[in-house]
A = this chain, B = another copy of it.
């Protein structure tokens, strides 16, 4: 993805999670080598529950390939924090799909693949938050209202 598109998507996700009551941190030096090596794109915390997120943005739904290093980094961060690690993918119409790193298949020695089918069948952000008891009905409503009003 282009740097600026990825950056905008990341910022949109941060704003949305902040509105839902999360404390949200973005990685330092977005796009730099240091960040890629050490930090997830976004970490969101609410009442001790932690979401560890790698952000992708796609203008059409297709397979995404991710280096094993990246997955390992997310897994370690989730293990240390006691949190849940996801690839957060912004697909058309402002929909955010969350794919748990545990459901991703390894396709070669150092590469993982999120297939088109896996992405389509993955839960949306609001569903994941509901399952993890991270949003209430009111907050869910606000989230839907917000995403509906983006033009």
Number of interface residues of A (CB under 8 A): 25
Chain multiplicity (copies): 2
Which of A22, A46, A78, A82: most chain B CB closer than 10 A? A82
Interface of A is mostly: mixed
Interface residues of A in 47-61 (CB under 8 A from B): 47-50, 52
Q: Is A26 an interface residue (CB 8 A)?
A: yes
Q: Is A91 an interface residue (CB 8 A)?
A: no
Q: Is A45 an interface residue (CB 8 A)?
A: yes
Given contact pairs A23-B43, A23-B52, A48-B49, a sample of 7 additional A-B residue pairs in the complex whose CB atoms are under 8 Å apart:
A21-B80, A22-B81, A23-B76, A23-B77, A26-B39, A45-B82, A46-B81
